[in-house]
Amino acid sequence: MVNYKGKLALVTGASTGIGKLYAEELAARGSHVILTARSKEKLEVLANELSAKYGIRAYAMPADLSKPGAARLLAEQIAALGLNVNILINNAGFGTHGRFEEISSEREQDEIMLNVASVVEMTHLFLPYMQQQRDGIIVNVASLAAFQPSAYMAVYSATKAFVLSFSEALWAENQKSGVRILALCPGATQTEFFDVIGTMDAAGGAALSSPESVVKAGFRGVEHNRSYIVAGRMNYFAAQAHRFISRRRTALIMERMTRPKPVSADPSVTSAK
């Protein structure tokens, strides 16, 4: 069993959804937590709640990790408090949906910075201490989209494929270091993810999983020292589809599933959201 009591966990994207639940579960298991996201107010409310409920130390440290240098500044703020991170949950990220050429380049550059570059930099900043202690956990939140090219979410699925490959490679490198590294791959989940995108078309008609089930899968993957884990049995089968059909066929199936639905000209009829 992994011992979480008394450890210090850093959770990115901690103000809502999977990140918030991860912070709550870590606190419930006795970990002190550093909460980071862009929303200072939400983080402070959550930090106060976790401290009062579980008797742990909780720190609210707002940061926009899509900006260059933000991860290093966060690490410096943590070091200035004399703290060392034992557990890193790289959860912050967002998606875009629509034809590639119709999505602004700036938006997709921010997506790459947050989903990919910040994950790499945060891991660079906090992995060495864990290796020195021969004890640590890094969970990188990828996605079911990491396993197949997703039309109309081309950049998002590519960033998550990076996270999956990156995590599996570091898992192999660190087998003798005492550090457990996991890529957590949820499918469509009941979070604000689709609110940010602005449509449910990105879910491809899939039933939404609960964030609680996703976090539970993350803890299970760490317990078993897995390199990756797909949250949900049906999602697991979907992730293995490439074993049975060609990549070309997979890409075409995904195009049909995630194709934006036409908006009705009749104002009394609304598209799915």
- For the annotated catalytic residues, the residue numbers are 156
Specify which residues 242 forms β-bridges with.
none
Distance of CA 112 to the CA centre of its chain: 13
| Residue type at position 112 | I
User: Closest Cα to residue 48, out of 40, 58, 38, 61?
Assistant: 58
DSSP for 29-55?
Answer: TT-EEEEESS-HHHHHHHHHHHHHHH-
Other Cβ atoms less than 10 A from the Cβ of 45: the count is: 13
Measured CA to CA, the distance from residue 126 to residue 18 in angstroms comes to 21
DSSP for 181-226?
Answer: EEEEE--SBSSTHHHHHT-SGGGTTPPPBPHHHHHHHHHHHHHTT-
- The 3-state DSSP class for residue 114 equals helix
Radius of gyration (C-alpha) of the chain in whole angstroms: 19
DSSP-derived secondary structure letter, 53: H
Measured CA to CA, the distance from residue 139 to residue 143 in angstroms comes to 12
